[in-house]
Structure 1
Amino acid sequence: MALLHRAELRPTKLDLLAAWLPSRRWFHGPAGADIVRVAGFRFDDPAGAVGIETMLVRAGDGSVHQVPLTYRGAPLEGADGWLVGTTDHSVLGPRWVYDGCGDPVYAAALAAAVLAGTGQAEEFFEVDGERKYREPSMTIASSGAGDAPVPAVGPPRRVVDADPALIVTDSVELVVLRCLDDGGGERAGAMLTGTWPGQPTPLPLAYAVPR
């Protein structure tokens, strides 16, 4: 379960992405165009310490990009190269926002979603002490649910910042598609797919292969 706050972020997540995305080699979009959110989903952090959100965004009439983000209350040691930026959350205070591909908590959550079909987190807002369910803006599904036990996923040993992104751990290799417009092609391993308004046919989002 993801418990969300009706809070103000300065700068906003889209502001952070507008500054960060054009610096990525895999980004396809017109220069200077506004970044808009297409859809998104969240994973649960079993420890409850890290927010994990995958955003689908587009710049102008450019491609739909998948951007996994993690939100932390303190810097992640050794992950400066994956820092998207910092923001001030009106409820939680300063937040460090990372590209999830460089965050071990995201890697573990993605492996569980692809290999065990743990699915996306249900999202709730707390309003006047009462929790209100928020309908998801997209749906994910796994082709590998129940096929094999999910190995313990340690910290990434190697991460390739490309399209697709590659996350290599001691127990699993994860592939995260960045640009979703071309479907990504067929790859080995269990597959995570997504559908959202305007995209009723499932498209590949990620793959996982135990090592």
Structure 2
Amino acid sequence: MALLHRAELRPSKLDLLTAWLPGRPWFAGTAGVAVTRVATFRFDDPAGEVGIETLLVRAGDGPVLQVPLTYRSAPLAGADRWLVGTTEHSVLGPRWVYDACADPVYPPALAAALFAGGGQAEEYFEVDGRREARQPNMTVTGGRVGDGRPPVLGDSHEVVDGDPTLIRTHPVELAVVRRPGSADAPSDACLTGAWPGQATPLVLAYAVPR
């Protein structure tokens, strides 16, 4: 479950991505043009400390790009290369925004979706002491492999930035498809998504043994 706040971010997530995305090797679209949101979904952080959100965005008339992000209340040690930017959250204060592929909370969450059939987290707003469900704006479907238990990942992982972006850990390699529709899944351990204007589910991520 993801508990959200009705808050203002300065700069906004899309402002951060407008500046950050053109420098990625997998970027496609018009550099300098404001990035627009297509759809989003979230995973849960079991510890409840880090926000894990995937944005599907478009730069101008370019293709849909998949950008998993994490939101932290303090800098992540050794991850300056993967910092998207910082923003001020009107409720939570300063937030450090990272490319989730390099954040240690993301690979286990992604693996759970790929192997155990997990999908997106249910999202809620807290309003006057009550929780109001936020309706999803896309459909995310995870895979189920073997007994449905995700592999236990090693403590460290290597990230190879590209399309797909590869998260090399043990005992599997996780692949995040940056331009959905550009790749098919080579295994049953996959995550697919559909959103308004894209009725046929496309592969968002997959895993292969190492």
TM-score range, shorter-chain basis?
over 0.9
**Distance between the aligned counterparts of 1:156 and 1:98, measured in 2?**
17
User: What corresponds to 1:100 in structure 2?
Assistant: 100
After TM superposition, list the pairs within 5 Å mapping 1:78-97 onto structure 2.
78-97=78-97
User: What corresponds to 1:178 in structure 2?
Assistant: 178
Contact preservation (8 Å) 2:164, 2:176: yes
**Distance between the aligned counterparts of 2:174 and 2:192, measured in 1?**
14
Contact preservation (8 Å) 2:55, 2:69: yes
The alpha-carbon distance between structure 1 residues 55 and 203, as it changes in their structure 2 partners (threshold 3 A), is same
**Distance between the aligned counterparts of 2:201 and 2:135, measured in 1?**
19
After TM superposition, list the pairs within 5 Å mapping 1:6-25 onto structure 2.
6-25=6-25
- Please state how far the C-alpha of 1:186 moved relative to its aligned partner: 4.0
Q: Which amino acid aligns with 1:185?
A: D
Q: Render the CA deviation track for 1:128-151: whole Å, top value 9, x for unaligned.
A: 111110100111112325544212
Contact preservation (8 Å) 1:108, 1:154: no
- Please state how far the C-alpha of 1:34 moved relative to its aligned partner: 1.3
User: What corresponds to 1:200 in structure 2?
Assistant: 199
Contact preservation (8 Å) 1:40, 1:54: yes
User: What corresponds to 2:62 in structure 1?
Assistant: 62
Task: Flag structure 2 segments of 5+ consecutive residues without an equivalent.
Answer: none
Please tell me the root mean square deviation across aligned C-alpha atoms, in Å.
1.4
Q: Render the CA deviation track for 1:62-96: whole Å, top value 9, x for unaligned.
A: 11000000000111111111100011111111100
**Distance between the aligned counterparts of 2:146 and 2:138, measured in 1?**
22
Q: Which amino acid aligns with 2:157?
A: R
After TM superposition, list the pairs within 5 Å mapping 1:15-164 onto structure 2.
15-144=15-144, 147-164=147-164
**Distance between the aligned counterparts of 2:146 and 2:122, measured in 1?**
21
**Distance between the aligned counterparts of 2:66 and 2:164, measured in 1?**
10
- Identity in percent: 68
Contact preservation (8 Å) 2:143, 2:188: no
Give the TM-score taking structure 1 as reference length. 0.95
Q: Which amino acid aligns with 1:200?
A: A
**Distance between the aligned counterparts of 1:18 and 1:56, measured in 2?**
13
Task: Flag structure 1 segments of 5+ consecutive residues without an equivalent.
Answer: none
**Distance between the aligned counterparts of 1:126 and 1:48, measured in 2?**
15
Contact preservation (8 Å) 2:113, 2:143: no
Q: Which amino acid aligns with 1:144?
A: R
The alpha-carbon distance between structure 1 residues 200 and 156, as it changes in their structure 2 partners (threshold 3 A), is farther
User: What corresponds to 2:169 in structure 1?
Assistant: 169
When the two structures are aligned, how many residues end up with a matched partner? 210
Give the TM-score taking structure 2 as reference length. 0.95
Contact preservation (8 Å) 1:104, 1:154: no
Q: Which amino acid aligns with 2:196?
A: P
**Distance between the aligned counterparts of 1:40 and 1:163, measured in 2?**
19
**Distance between the aligned counterparts of 1:68 and 1:62, measured in 2?**
18
